[in-house]
Structure 1
């Protein structure tokens, strides 16, 4: 049982086997407990079907951006600085001299391409982050990231809602209704816009101004009370984040107490994080130096500042908007998979 065989015969209402040749035979019991055959074939071949859906999803993403004159780019996976976000830790590249880390996002390198004159770019690439395993997290995952010049967060939010609807239609026989995690969701544009202050008020009965500057408390309320309620019936963009959480985003042109940043949510799950990009090199360096100090204070590695990224800002980048979207999460939500690992050919737990 479990041999791969080549059968030659005829079909005239009745199957007639002429020859049968054993090509390979298993060495040991079949199927092997924990082996690849049951992994891909159990539950009616569910994993193989999810891989087919994933391939369709990748094709739909490329179709979407190609139709809008975006250039697909590739950037290095091992970089001199993986970013300085306090909550993200990178994998070092063993033996690299000078030191290198695997990217947590291709953002720095993609913005250098904008400095070189590109106006619309996107990338589907592997990223790595040292974080706990979970239904929505894998240390190695696929990121979809794109940037457009002469734009801010509103233009990129429109890209996002149109993209997700396009992928849904490609995988759901033309429908924009996806299974979601707990209940079906219609991802057709326009998505709801909700400010951070409004969300805290509605879902946690808390005023953001009363929480800050205690960012630990802010994120605890966000994760425990606010995020689970977002995008349950209709996708939502959470906008107007506090200025202290601007990261690589510019301050909002109409209100400097908040920044031009958004996160997209479907079924209580964060799907993406986008910005109206900060293009001021002096302010960007100041923020990165502050991030280094924050990482040192938290006992974490203070990764170096990427001087070529700062140099690109000094050369000049037009006003731009960008977004980083978790492709694995998108596939999970559109296909109705239980976890992002279900849609991966070989997730980390099976290495």
Structure 2
């Protein structure tokens, strides 16, 4: 008990920063005309992501992301929505991972992934300003500069710069994720945040494919000091295409020996009515970790799962 009390007392300044950051985020979105929403944490059918394992909960699942429910709201006529959502992922624990985490997720009708890059940039600068930090900050002795614009780097260029091979070679050899995780990601955002954009179509998931170049998806991730902060894209609104991708992902999960999920039929039906939009899922815990100069995610979490 004494160790828990000492840890929690020691990290109080980080928790205070966390509170101020949540308030700054709400202020940012409210000023821009967004509606804050809350969607169910327990859902009947998650998206069948190959590398994300959902937690079963009495015949349903704890959400890994509020994405499907929020897109149903877009299909119902909402135009600009956000939430700070509690999300759950199985077998995820480490210096930057928690089995229960907080995601900031937001969606904008009628815009695309390039619009979302600019809005994400504005959000981070706003939060830093509310904390009276920046534009020059540091995380664990590594300085970074939030002065806009942030760097934009395509996935193809990142492979040539840091991966020691072309993107095409990595895809052919089946080592895309390995090279990304071990060689490229640690180098990203060392001095300035970087948007890594235009992932190969095989990594599109729920993102729209570029109409002018179907080899790539309109998707990006943001990195600061080698830490991945968000996953964003122009949304795929073709229900038939999304259903096909879900079937492929479900088959791959089965091939890997992972548990199957029920079909997300309600979401796929709603997708028939969803307007063009862009969305972003940003790891709030990681952002707090960076902005409070905490060494790991445990230092910005009031109660750890191991303490219960």
The TM-score range, normalised by the shorter chain, is over 0.9
What is aligned with 1:118? 78
The answer to whether the 8 Å contact 2:134/2:146 transfers is no
TM-score relative to the length of structure 2: 0.97
Gaps of at least 5 residues in structure 2 are none
* Aligned partner of 1:296 among 223, 232, 254: 254
Query: Which residue of the partner structure matches residue 40 of structure 2?
Result: 76
**In the alignment, which of 131, 136, 149 is matched to residue 91 of structure 2?**
131
1:34 aligns with 2:3: yes
For structure 1, the residue ranges without an aligned partner over 5 or more in a row are 1-31
For residues 226-284 of structure 1, the C-alpha deviation after alignment (integer angstroms, 9 at most, x for no partner) is 00000000100111100011000000132111000001000001000001000000100
Corresponding residue for 2:162? 203
Alignment size in residue pairs: 308
How much does 1:175 deviate? 2.5
Other-structure match for 1:152 = 112
Partner of 1:281: 239
What corresponds to 1:341 in structure 2?
Answer: 298
Note if contact 1:180-1:266 (Cα within 8 Å) is conserved in structure 2: no
Deviations 1:15-63 (CA, angstroms, capped at 9, x unpaired): xxxxxxxxxxxxxxxxx53242x2233xxxx411111111000000000
Q: C-alpha separation between the residues in 1 aligned to 2:191 and 2:101?
A: 27
State the SS of the aligned residue for 2:232.
strand
Highest Rg: 1 or 2?
Answer: 1
Confirm or deny: 8 A CA contact 1:235 1:265 kept in the other structure: yes
**1:83–1:182 Cα change, 3 Å:** farther
SS of 1:255 mapped into structure 2: coil
Residues in 2 aligned to 1:35 and 1:233: alpha-carbon distance in whole angstroms: 35
In the superposition, the TM-score normalised over structure 1's length comes to 0.85
Q: Kindly state the Cα deviation for residue 174 of structure 1 after the two structures are TM-superposed.
A: 4.8
Instruction: Write out aligned runs for 1:77-226 (5 A).
Output: 77-93=41-57, 96=58, 99-171=59-131, 173-215=132-174, 217-226=175-184
Distance 1:162 1:106 in 2: 23
In the TM superposition, what is the alpha-carbon distance from 1:168 to its structure 2 partner? 1.3
Hey, what's the Cα distance between the residues in 1 that align with 2:94 and 2:123?
26
Q: Secondary structure at the match of 1:40?
A: helix
Q: Which residue of 2 aligns with 1:49?
A: 13
Q: How far apart are residue 91 of structure 1 and its match?
A: 1.0
Shift of 1:214: 4.2
The whole-number CA distance in structure 2 between the counterparts of 1:213 and 1:106 is 33
The answer to whether the 8 A contact 2:154-2:198 is kept is yes
Is residue 21–residue 288 contact of structure 2 (8 Å, CA) maintained in 1? Answer: yes
